[in-house]
Chain A
Amino acid sequence: MADKRMSLDDLVGELRSGMTIGLGGWGSRRKPMAAVRAILRSDLTDLTVVSYGGPEVGLLCAAGKVARAVFSFVTLDSIPTDPHFRVARQTGAIESTEIDEGMFYLGLLAASQRVPFLPTRAGLGSDVLRVNPSLRTVTSPYDDGEELVAVPALRLDAAVIHVNRADARGSGQILGPDPFFDELFLGAAERRFVTAERIVDTDRLTSEGPIQTMCISRLLTDGVVETPRGAHFTACVPDYPRDEEFQMAYVAAAGDPDRWVAFRGRYLDVDEAGYRAATEAFASEGAGSAAPGTPSREVVK
């Protein structure tokens, strides 16, 4: 029986520059941040990032890792937009593929089901078709004759999702209220990785939550990494909520080059253990500290 446990370095070692990589979660919720931080420390570059975007998209853009972003939105939820992503778009630093949220879902579903496209009304009449000139419509072969958008399969070279629990063979358990589209990210990808708050014995999973929470089967995973607080600073309920103070610190630092250098040095140019230590120190400093990356509500506005 295959043991799929690996380290973050092993995971990053499976990725190559130029790949199309899907990242699970939604907005600033249950993002595979530990894996993203490992990508930030690597020499990977020229990536196409496919995501219901949150801060990971901004961080990857700021580090120059992104050639193209495929997105419907990039948001921090409690803060409408990501500052680094805004700059990347406004300076023309990245190429963009912007599609409707439902089209995104159907693209992943088509790739998972190994069909070339799936039809939908979503996109008709909108500028999604104008800014993606390669998108085509398809006419129903039946009597209705409807003309619909043919959403092409969104095939991924690799995908990474973050879950609450997993076992060593790569079955994943999502204990929060929404599994988002994580299963489809894995289904759409060639190389499939799950990071988890905790890796537990398989017979523990049913005592962690009901069967419906065990929604990632090992049919969909090639590797599993234990990454405690691996979604921080995004939400990973019920293990922890979004770290709003830290997210504000991220946004404040991103708006100022000197503070960004300090933020990077303290939180990103360190390994995962160093990140956890630094964020714990940040939390114990509390509001009003003069440390780098201290939340500034002015900047957030």
Chain B
Amino acid sequence: MTAASGGSDGSGVSRAEFCAIACAEVFRGDGEVMASAFGTAPAIGARLARLTFAPDLVLTDGDAALVDGAPALGARPSELVLESHMPYRRVFDVVWSGRRNLIMMASQIDRTGNQNISAIGDWSRPKAQLIGVRGAPGNTVSHSTSYWVPNHTTRSFVERVDVVSGVGYERAAAAGPSATRYHEIRRVVSNLGVFDFETPDRVMRLRSVHPGVTVDEIVEATGFDLVLPPDVPGTRLPAPEELELIRTVLDPRALRDREVR
């Protein structure tokens, strides 16, 4: 085990590797659904799930195709085995059919699971224009959606997001049965821990803490009151085979260490 891949918790597993494992867990139990994953830890996680406990997952090449197997991050197009054509217009057929499980990124996320990737500040004249709502409104009311936040601070975990792009539990409920029917915000994975909404009033709960992080650090970095269970488990350790897959097969260039330190 090299120093570079060693974590601060003594396990020899890096923080980025815990994040990848936590992202892989988002896909546990999924059958034949299209896994879409934005960001490095989610990309590793989806591939790892495909190679281990979710073998029927369908992965994309990030362009217009579905791929067989689980190619390494940054694989050249000639290395990919394509299994189906998936241009954007067809992606919407998949989204609206519900046969998809997605990890998106969030510039802001709030207590009830709303996500913002549109703009910071007042929408009509924002302080900072971001990429735009993209497909987040439709994704979140159509199939399971989770979020990846590589930089957990009080600026990213906020009481209320500025522009609701991805729809959280409270807003879906207020919009009615057509919005809640297929709505699920499964997890939020950050560089500090894992969160879910498995509480009676569907507000964010701390699910696990990445080894090397304390609950107090997470509370400090969060801009709202998290639900804290009496005993917070650590994010699970990757099995030796999983670690081997991450390090030698899926991310041999260690891109994960550039996203999370």
Measured as residues with beta carbon below 8 angstroms from the partner, the interface class of chain A is: 35 or more
CB pair A178 B87 closer than 8 Å: yes
A residues 84-139 near B (Cβ < 8 Å) are 85-86, 89-92, 96, 98-103, 105, 120-128, 130-131
B53 at interface by CB-CB < 8 Å: no
CB pair A73 B178 closer than 8 Å: no
| 9-residue interface stretch from A74-82, A160-168, A216-224, A288-296 | A74-82
Contact among A74, A102, A125, A146 for B135, CB-based, below 8 A? A102
Residues 47-86 of chain A: 1 if any B CB is under 8 Å from the residue's CB, otherwise 0?
0000001000000000000000001111100001100011
Contacts A92-B124, A179-B87 given: A100-B175 contact, CB under 8 Å? no
Q: Which interface residue of A89, A96, A121, A177 has the most chain B CB atoms within 10 A? A: A121
CB pair B136 A121 closer than 8 Å: no
User: A100: which B residues are within 8 A, CB to CB?
Assistant: 133-138
User: A131: which B residues are within 8 A, CB to CB?
Assistant: 123-124, 163
Contact among B96, B125, B133, B171 for A89, CB-based, below 8 A? B125
Give the CA-CA distance A105 to B182 in the complex, in Å.
Answer: 21
A148 at interface by CB-CB < 8 Å: yes
CB pair A127 B87 closer than 8 Å: no
CB pair A181 B89 closer than 8 Å: yes
Q: Which interface residue of A26, A99, A122, A123 has the most chain B CB atoms within 10 A? A: A122
Measured CB to CB, the closest approach of chain B to A11, in angstroms, equals 26
User: B92: which A residues are within 8 A, CB to CB?
Assistant: 101-102, 105
CB pair B133 A125 closer than 8 Å: no
B108 at interface by CB-CB < 8 Å: no
B63 at interface by CB-CB < 8 Å: yes
Give the CA-CA distance A26 to B96 in the complex, in Å.
Answer: 20
A180 at interface by CB-CB < 8 Å: yes
B residues 153-185 near A (Cβ < 8 Å) are 163-167, 171-172, 174-179, 181-183
User: A92: which B residues are within 8 A, CB to CB?
Assistant: 124-125
Cross-chain pair count, CB within 8 angstroms = 140
User: B135: which A residues are within 8 A, CB to CB?
Assistant: 72, 100-102, 122
User: B142: which A residues are within 8 A, CB to CB?
Assistant: 121-122
Measured CB to CB, the closest approach of chain B to A101, in angstroms, equals 4
A271 at interface by CB-CB < 8 Å: no
User: B177: which A residues are within 8 A, CB to CB?
Assistant: 146-147
User: A124: which B residues are within 8 A, CB to CB?
Assistant: 137, 141, 167, 172, 175-176, 178-179
The closest CB in chain B to the CB of A27 belongs to B131
User: B87: which A residues are within 8 A, CB to CB?
Assistant: 177-180
Contacts A121-B142, A177-B63 given: A86-B167 contact, CB under 8 Å? no
Give the CA-CA distance A53 to B140 in the complex, in Å.
Answer: 22
Measured CB to CB, the closest approach of chain A to B217, in angstroms, equals 27
Measured CB to CB, the closest approach of chain A to B148, in angstroms, equals 15
Give the CA-CA distance A103 to B174 in the complex, in Å.
Answer: 20
Beyond known contacts A72-B133, A101-B135: 11 more, CB 8 A cutoff? A80-B130, A90-B125, A92-B125, A120-B96, A121-B138, A122-B142, A124-B179, A125-B137, A126-B137, A126-B171, A128-B133
Interface set of A (CB-CB < 8 Å, partner B): 26, 53, 71-75, 80-81, 85-86, 89-92, 96, 98-103, 105, 120-128, 130-131, 146-148, 177-181
The 5 closest A-B pairs by CB, nearest first: A122-B138, A73-B132, A125-B175, A126-B137, A177-B64
